[in-house]
Amino acid sequence: MSEYGNSTIKSLLGEALRESGDLAQKEFTLFRTEMSHNVRSMMVGAGMMVAAAVFAIAALMIFTEALVASLATVLDSRALAALIVGGVMALIAVGLILYGRHVFSAASLMPTKTVRSVKRDAAVLSERVAE
């Protein structure tokens, strides 16, 4: 192999290493950005769960007595009115908790864009090496 071919290979390897370093740095930046977004989404989910709890407690304390009293006049039974009102409030709280848990799911933490980008970059680099 000639000296010219040797220097070309060295320059190509050096360029490949520089590009790999730049690529790794960009991938890490993408990872950090995506994880930051995912953590913010997780915090929104936690906030929804807290809001659900606050709503359930406030609703039970403030409106339950008024609803029970109002329904008791229609049903002629305060106990039956209390059961109906309590059931509706419990359903609202469960719905909010389920929605908050869905937003809060651990799967939302997976940096899918970064993983996809790293796989694509690895394929491109392996094609370059194969050439």
Percent of the chain with pLDDT over 70: 87
Least-confidence region, from 9-13, 16-20, 124-128: 124-128
Give pTM, 2 decimals. 0.41
Residues 6+ apart with CB under 8 A from 39: 109
Q: What is the pLDDT of residues 65-116, one digit of tens each?
A: 888 899 999 999 999 998 998 898 899 989 989 988 887 776 666 677 777 8
Structural domain harbouring 65? 3-130
Q: Of 41, 27, 43, 50, nearest to 113 (Cα)?
A: 27
Question: Which DSSP letter does residue 52 get?
Answer: H
Q: How many domains does the chain have?
A: 1
How far does the chain reach from its first CA to its final CA, in angstroms? 18
Calpha distance 53→107 (Å, rounded): 23
CA 42 remoteness from chain centre: 5
Amino acid letter, 101: R
Q: Is the pLDDT of residue 63 over 80?
A: no
More confident residue, 12 or 70: 70
Q: Is the pLDDT of residue 127 over 60?
A: yes
Model confidence at 22, in pLDDT bands (50, 70, 90)? Answer: confident
